[in-house]
Amino acid sequence: MLKTRFTEMFGVEHPIVQGGMQWVGRATLVSAVANAGALGFITALTQPTPEDLVKEIKKCREMTDKTFGVNLTILPALKPPPYAEYRQAIIESGIKVVETAGYKPQEHVEDFKKHGIKVIHKCTAVRHALSAERMGVDAVSIDGFECAGHPGEDDIPGLILIAAAADKVKIPLVASGGIADARGLVAALALGAEGVNMGTRFMCTVESPIHQKVKEQIVANDERATDLIFRTLHNTARVAKNAVSQEVVAIERKGGAKIEDIAHLVSGARGKVVYEQGDPDYGIWSAGMVQGLIHDIPTVKDLVARIVSEAEGIIATRLNRMAGISVARAAE
């Protein structure tokens, strides 16, 4: 049993998180994660309205009696979603754990905390993690450059970023980006994290609510099968490499691009169709470099059990054996 400050604070069995993912973080997946002893998050803005979010939370409760949370990602927009209404729906639904991400979450964090809700804030830099700590969040999930979605603009890989954050952040730290198996979990713990967050790996499970062909594409892809788009817009996103992402990259390489130059290619509606209809080349969809470590499509229960069992094995055998050899040599 791997017990950490994170598992104790959030009341879960294993130090494994399934963070919010647009179009993916739905009740079917989240309840399976919870039933496996990990912590899953419904993605609030995947639901068209706050009322739909309430229904999704209720559906998830019908599928599990264990702890799960809701992700609320705040992004600047010309016409932003009704964030305050989504926040109120979360509070009134009795959710006890929230994952926040994005732009200036203080208003939301303060309201969640006022209602006794634990908050994990997701960020991509040590300075942002420290800011979130000062804001009063309970834990920080920090994304290395390998991650799917938005890795920030500093381009710091997890091996450095996790350790650098652990040196300065006092609250529990969750490592995100590039983690898919027991080796990643053990490495993250060694670097100072108290748990790991997996996105792409949970996308590729039986209960994941995306098309089977997309899951099979993740298995077929290797660690090179991602593109970084929006670099010239200073809003970098890591997505699965396909015909559309390559077109976006080509436009940006010509000397930059305005959002109106590529909006027809990168619309969220097209990405939703990818997940629903199973054409990996129809639009932009998020996936991390960790695709190179994903070789099967297990149930969530089997995946979590495998990761935990193998992690305990690595710690009990490989690392302890290596430590024993070092002690023996020191005694010679």
- Looking at residue 76, what is its pLDDT? 77
Count how many residues are written for the chain.
Answer: 332
| Distance separating alpha carbons of residues 152 and 236, to the nearest angstrom | 6
Average pLDDT for residues 257-272, to the nearest whole number? Answer: 91
Reported as a single tens digit per residue, the pLDDT across 26-35 is 999 999 999 9
| Cα distance between residue 214 and residue 210, in whole Å | 7
pLDDT tens digits, one per residue of 153-186: 999 999 999 999 999 999 999 999 999 999 999 9
User: Does residue 239 sit in helix, strand or coil?
Assistant: strand
pLDDT band at 103 (very low <50, low <70, confident <90, very high): confident
Pairwise CA distance, residues 165 & 158, whole Å: 10
* Residue 326 in this model has a pLDDT that exceeds 60: no
Tokens read off for 112: 């969640």
Where b means 16+ CB within 10 Å and e means fewer, 229-257 reads bbbbeeebbbbbbbebbeebbebbeeeeb
Which domains are present in the chain?
11-209 (3.20.20.70), 212-290 (no CATH)
CB within 8 Å of 230: residues ≥ 6 apart: 236, 237, 252, 266
Q: Which residue, among 121, 126, 175, 122, has the nearest Cα to 146 in the 3D structure?
A: 175
112, pLDDT greater than 90: yes
Residues 6+ apart with CB under 8 A from 82: 50
What phi and psi, each to the nearest 5 degrees, are found at residue 123? -150, 175
Taking alpha carbons only, the member of 156, 103, 146 closest to residue 238 is: 146
Q: Is the pTM of this model over 0.85?
A: yes
Band of residue 79 on the pLDDT scale cut at 50, 70, 90? confident
Q: How far apart are CA 293 and CA 180, in angstroms?
A: 7
Per residue in 57-67, pLDDT (tens digit) is 999 999 999 99
